[in-house]
Amino acid sequence: MMSGFTRYILWQATGPFLLATLALTGIIWLTQALRLLDVIIAQGQGAGTYFFLTLLSIPSLLTLVLPISLFIGVLYSLHRLYSDSELVVMFSAGISRWGIAKPLLMLTGIVSVVILSLNIYIAPAGLREVKKRLYEIRADFASAMIREGAFNNPITGLTVYVRNRTLNGTIEGILVHDNRDPAAPVTYMAETGNLVFSNSGPRLVMYNGNIQRANKSDGGDSLSLLYFDKYTYDLSQFGSGPSDTYYEGRERYLSDLLWPEPDDIYAANYKPKLLAEAHDRLAGIFYPFMLTFIALASLISAEFNRRGYAVRLAIAAVIALSARLFSLVLFSTTVAYTEVALAMYLFPVSVCALAAASISGVRFGRLLSPLKSLMPSKSTIPGQSG
């Protein structure tokens, strides 16, 4: 059972942590959602599909946001406890520094478990589903082509116009202009048509129309006209289904990163990158502890100061940012040199150890005093007079 003191400090940090998570996730989510907006609009999808796809990308964003929001929550809660003199009272009551740090480390442990579960399965599963849905949307030319009264461009070089679509699915007034090859554009026109879906892909069956082929490759303009009663236009050539899908590092499960299939061409070409991604996910459980220990070491060992702790807060933010950026440098280095992977684990653990020593009251200046005694003084330096 948690004591009332532990629950109190835990709640003081949990509130700001959740608010920071919500704010940061919302900001980053908006920036990421804009990348999907063009695809959704171009393919004529609704708002429901758009928000569903953007929600699937949130777990991958949380893996980046949670350590930062946890650092903000811990730093804010400690500063508030100091500003209200609550920590001074707790210390006077005999509560140790580690007693105050315990509930904050409990929260950090919960966040680390959440990040590990996101990294191993939830985040890559969401990104996989996003890619799968995007492939299906791009391959679904039916939704892009049957928008009535508008010139649609499902892909570059292809323009489709449909005048009307009846309730029974018949399409009226069809124009398809294929200009992917500017030297030989082709225009299809038909009175009516139907969209037919088969195992080999979607087909547009047109009735009572003509095909206009232009040839500009010989230096002149020649036009051939062919009338037809029925013509089938293959739409599967423009799309690629899920069978053509390959998954990048962020979209792979941890097992796929460490033990890819023998016939996985992408894994064979980018094996160092996938291994670095796997190590980064496993080392991700240490990042919340690293940032929490930095916040604890910056404030929990501070003496009461009526002027506030702005300097300490700024220093803690700079150290946390530098540590996180250095971990990203280690990730990039591991891609080129796989033997550096061990440093991805040792670095956050070392930062935690140094911060823990500072919380325990170790003064690193004293550790250097034996070395200072071995250094010659000014009076013993050759060439100096006494």
Asked if the model's pLDDT at residue 386 lies above 50, the reply is: no
Beta bridge partners of 194: 205
Average pLDDT estimate for 226-237: 85
Asked if the model's pLDDT at residue 195 lies above 60, the reply is: yes
Q: Give the count of alpha carbons within 13 A of 246, CB side only.
A: 12
Average pLDDT estimate for 333-339: 92
Per domain, the residue ranges of the chain are 4-138+249-372, 156-237
pTM of the model: 0.71
pLDDT in the model for residue 347: 97
CA distance 316 to 358: 13
Asked if the model's pLDDT at residue 68 lies above 90, the reply is: yes
Q: Which CB contacts under 8 angstroms, 24+ apart, belong to 359-367? A: 359/97, 359/98, 359/101, 359/293, 359/296, 359/297, 359/300, 359/301, 360/97, 360/98, 361/97, 361/301
Asked if the model's pLDDT at residue 361 lies above 70, the reply is: yes
Average pLDDT estimate for 32-53: 69
Average pLDDT of every residue of the chain: 82
